[in-house]
Amino acid sequence: MSSQDGLPSSKPVGLEDGAVQHRDERFPKAARLLDSADFRRVTASGRKMGGRYFLLFILETVQPHSRLGLTVSRKVGNAVVRNGVKRQMRAFFRVRRLALTRDRTNGWDMVWIARPQAGGATMEALRQDLQKLFSALLRSSGAPQRESGSVPLPVILPGAESVHSASQAVPRSP
């Protein structure tokens, strides 16, 4: 089942390990930058934001949804390290991509480039850097924001193929 913009609907999907992942938390082809011309357009014309571990290039589009392109060079580390960094980047985007177009008619094309220091950073440090950049993006775009800390960070559980929010991984007390 797809919505009108070609992106999957928000119905839960069962996974092998019994976890549930919502379709809107997937990373469908429509949400990816795939063409090198798109990467060049965004990096040449987009706004640049930098953090300790990542550079983000953001360009507003007329499309109703946001798209993401990832660049993780060999300077970051070997294939295992690069894949771990990309996994964290994709997980972060999947959980938050709908917030980018909330109350907006236009989406964003984004290119996220991992800096070489990202290879030696902890996964928590990578998530914190992405959260800081994402919050700055929402502030500068005029998009509505939730209270600080109310958007749970994505957590990839060992041996699981799904993304769980931190609030699902560890129960919070009231």
- Taken in order of first residue, the domains within the chain and their CATH numbers are 32-145+152-157 (3.30.230.10)
In sequence order, the β-bridge partners of residue 56 are 49, 112
| pLDDT for position 23 | 52
- CA 111, 128, 167, 145 dihedral sign is negative
Q: What are phi and psi of 120, to 5 degrees?
A: -95, 0
Q: How confident is the model at residue 101 (pLDDT cuts 50, 70, 90)?
A: low
Sign of CA dihedral 120, 117, 133, 69: negative
Residue pLDDT, tens place only, 117-166: 999 999 999 999 999 998 888 787 655 444 444 444 444 444 444 444 44
pTM of the entire predicted model: 0.66
Query: Would you say 39 and 21 are in contact if contact means Cβ atoms under 8 Å apart?
Result: no
Residues in the chain, overall count? 174
Residue 10 has pLDDT above 60, yes or no: no
Name the residue type at position 160.
A
Q: What pLDDT shows up at residue 130?
A: 92
- Please list the alpha-helical segments (H only) found in 102-156: 123-141
The C-alpha atoms of residue 25 and residue 151 are separated, in whole angstroms, by 14
Give the model's pLDDT for residue 159. Answer: 47
User: Is pLDDT above 60 for 78?
Assistant: yes
**For the segment 34-63, what is each residue's pLDDT rounded down to a tens digit?**
889 999 999 999 899 999 999 999 998 888
